[in-house]
Structure 1
């Protein structure tokens, strides 16, 4: 019998992406059996009734006849000019169309940017909790993900001293996710200045995942990283998927900033990798100028009375009134990251909880440990449903956690007896 050569890459065994993983596959099986589920595992606005703004849809429709050919590997020049102008307006140094890369979503650009940077064994500093694509892409590009703590007791903000203590001769980059997925943390300017200082003193590339840059609540203010980095190399990621509710269009961008001589051949490496995949989706690119110059359609959703704001308020109120839950208030992005506390947390396992919540209560969430944290008492939900739906979701969550607490009390009683 011939030797089986169809063996998957070994490093895939190190990759975790539970947002669309085993639990999501089980959800599809349950739905095929006719089980209705409330699926809160993905920040996918279109799945919750949101639509991309009308002026973005019109921009694509009007330009559709010109979308058949490949375009430049970095994206349509006029579109990159718009992106560069937008970043220049908010203080990004050296923002020119030559330094803008358009990709099939930020996900593709994260992979390309790490592939352009890493040699086998190189290290990347990534927050914990993180958006797990950062860890996965680092591993799959033969790097080593080194996680720095963003602890709940510190509002999920990092300690620059701890970040610096993790740096070794193999460290190449510092990833900053702001506003943060999954925690909802929004980094204050003073903290970002300190992180820039750490990166500058050690010659690290700053990688700023800012896909939620327009989604903040109450008094939280988003501060872009590149203006603080100045001449130091920084690559900033943004796109249409979240702020403009157009996930399926797969339009993201990366803007490279910093003094030219400090960038070495990194720009060329990014350009080469972009050329190998020919170009990004062309129709969606025509929506970018309309998005960046048109009306602000996200802020009304994020202020008192707006849909995202009211759903967030419902989650905050429920967690505040529950003996089983504790929540660090999300100040930005589209998620809440509650902790299970008290008697319900005794022997708690986040994966078991997520499976039982889906099987018993018809709700799909993401276990907290999927975001590369060491603790196992958190879970993530998206804030995209209506507030009424979220109240029902947390009624079911509280019911399951109540059963956990009751079981814990029974175990304690049996141990005393």
Structure 2
């Protein structure tokens, strides 16, 4: 059923999703600033101050105690009358063994010390620390589009202007967005929601741009352990000696424990460009971490059997699962992808690769309106592309049972027939079967 106005892309890791595109983008749907900046002056040296928020955020106790020279008498047992908490709280002085576990987990080409590791309450908290430390209200941050919506949430809540660059990274477009108020560039590799994994040469091109304009990188690498077979993940920090990188990761995705809320920032700053930023962030790093989870990190990171990684990848990775062809999860996803491709490709108004061609509908002007009406009339829920800053796309998850997918696409066919500008019936809805598969 060619839904002649939609684009279909099959993704597995990071998530098993299909994307349907609506190519037309109305002016009203554009909510991002992706035009060239009016001021084109750029940084001319590696001087990156901490944000005003970070500088204003002070914890008097920590500011004093953390800088005190305390050396107890070795011959007498320590008696602390300073605080009443029976255990240590917050991010200061995390357990040495947890720090060591993180250091060993990092890449040999970009070695770290204990002071280069910040453990937060999940990768989301780690991202918040990075953005808060680097960006001020009135500055701007460059984000990928399509991209994870939390980036914009964190930035705009602090009065930071968001500028989106196109994926795969359009280097010319990215560079056109840089001006004297650009604080940093956020790179998400592997990408969520698109699943792309950047090649080494492409990452090196991004780093060269950052070096020219003296911009640090926030690198969201939460999916680093889940690339397709045949794709190689390159930590961006391993490819530069000059550009400072704040690499964000966590255990939620690769280890399948999102509720544990363990994330981290690995500070790759070989030239101490971010020293001021790191020095002043201690006050707002004292967040709700759980030391029992931190204590489990060495075991998780270094003693997890290889079979766990292999089995996890096999469930997501179609190429890996080909070695175990009768794996029910693989067969389920393969069947659902085939159903989605075949049925969507026959619906007038949609095509594979998609775009909702809103010009083919008499009363639908955007992806949001399409999904709202689809729910109201057919009780089929899809996620509008505007959630990912990509208007006139929508997302379909292909993990439901095959019979439910078939029913959903049949309803979608009837929906598109009713709203098609030519008023064609369901029987007339035969598309050209264009496909990217």
Shift of the alpha carbon at 1:390? 4.7
For the 8 Å contact 2:141–2:162, the answer to whether it is kept is yes
Shift of the alpha carbon at 1:355? 3.8
Pair 1:76-2:95 in alignment: yes
Structure 2 residue corresponding to 1:285, chosen from 294, 298, 310: 294
For the 8 Å contact 2:99–2:117, the answer to whether it is kept is yes
CA gap 1:179/1:409 in 2 versus in 1, 3 angstroms: same
Please state which structure has a larger fraction of its residues in helix: 1
Shift of the alpha carbon at 1:344? 7.5
Tell me how far apart the structure 2 counterparts of residues 413 and 366 of structure 1 sit (CA, whole Å). 26
Tell me how far apart the structure 2 counterparts of residues 242 and 124 of structure 1 sit (CA, whole Å). 25
SS in 2 for 1:172: strand
For the 8 Å contact 1:208–1:234, the answer to whether it is kept is yes
Shift of the alpha carbon at 1:402? 0.6
For the 8 Å contact 1:343–1:409, the answer to whether it is kept is no
Alignment of structure 1 residues 121-136 onto 2, 5 Å: 121-136=138-153
Pair 1:160-2:171 in alignment: yes
Q: Give the stretch that moved more between structures: 394-403 or 100-109.
A: 394-403
CA gap 1:364/1:268 in 2 versus in 1, 3 angstroms: farther
Tell me how far apart the structure 1 counterparts of residues 226 and 382 of structure 2 sit (CA, whole Å). 21
TM-score (norm 2): 0.67
SS in 1 for 2:119: strand
Shift of the alpha carbon at 1:140? 1.2
Q: Give the aligned partner of residue 376 of structure 1.
A: 392
Shift of the alpha carbon at 1:320? 2.8
Instruction: Report the count of equivalent residues.
Output: 326
Shift of the alpha carbon at 1:68? 5.3
Pair 1:145-2:145 in alignment: no
Tell me how far apart the structure 1 counterparts of residues 178 and 94 of structure 2 sit (CA, whole Å). 35
Tell me how far apart the structure 2 counterparts of residues 217 and 345 of structure 1 sit (CA, whole Å). 37
Shift of the alpha carbon at 1:309? 5.0
Tell me how far apart the structure 1 counterparts of residues 361 and 191 of structure 2 sit (CA, whole Å). 25
Q: Give the aligned partner of residue 317 of structure 1.
A: 338
Structure 1 residue corresponding to 2:220, chosen from 184, 205, 209: 209
Shift of the alpha carbon at 1:259? 1.5
Shift of the alpha carbon at 1:230? 2.8
CA gap 1:320/1:343 in 2 versus in 1, 3 angstroms: farther
Report Cα offsets for 1:183-231 as digits up to 9, x if no partner.
1111121111111111111111111111111112232222211101333
CA gap 1:214/1:408 in 2 versus in 1, 3 angstroms: same
Alignment of structure 1 residues 101-120 onto 2, 5 Å: 101-120=118-137
For the 8 Å contact 1:114–1:141, the answer to whether it is kept is no
Q: RCO (CA 8 Å, sep 6+): is it higher in 1 or 2?
A: 2
CA gap 1:130/1:169 in 2 versus in 1, 3 angstroms: same
CA gap 1:106/1:311 in 2 versus in 1, 3 angstroms: farther
Gaps of 5+ in 2: 1-13, 17-85, 426-437
Tell me how far apart the structure 2 counterparts of residues 167 and 339 of structure 1 sit (CA, whole Å). 30
Tell me how far apart the structure 1 counterparts of residues 351 and 424 of structure 2 sit (CA, whole Å). 26
Report Cα offsets for 1:121-171 as digits up to 9, x if no partner.
111100011101101111112211100012xxxxxx121121111111111
Pair 1:88-2:137 in alignment: no
Tell me how far apart the structure 2 counterparts of residues 299 and 171 of structure 1 sit (CA, whole Å). 37
CA gap 1:409/1:144 in 2 versus in 1, 3 angstroms: closer
Shift of the alpha carbon at 1:70? 2.1
Tell me how far apart the structure 2 counterparts of residues 242 and 345 of structure 1 sit (CA, whole Å). 39
Q: Give the aligned partner of residue 430 of structure 2.
A: none
SS in 2 for 1:158: coil
Q: Give the stretch that moved more between structures: 279-288 or 205-214.
A: 279-288
Report Cα offsets for 1:250-302 as digits up to 9, x if no partner.
11111010224222311113323203x3x522222233222211124222323
SS in 2 for 1:191: helix
CA gap 1:378/1:258 in 2 versus in 1, 3 angstroms: same
For the 8 Å contact 2:377–2:415, the answer to whether it is kept is no
TM-score (norm 1): 0.70
CA gap 1:132/1:410 in 2 versus in 1, 3 angstroms: closer
Tell me how far apart the structure 1 counterparts of residues 179 and 329 of structure 2 sit (CA, whole Å). 41
For the 8 Å contact 2:103–2:113, the answer to whether it is kept is yes
Q: CA RMSD in A?
A: 3.0
Shift of the alpha carbon at 1:85? 1.3
Q: Give the aligned partner of residue 351 of structure 1.
A: 368
Pair 1:270-2:281 in alignment: yes
Pair 1:171-2:192 in alignment: no
Report Cα offsets for 1:366-416 as digits up to 9, x if no partner.
21111112x3132253x6x4xxx25344324312321233124464569xx
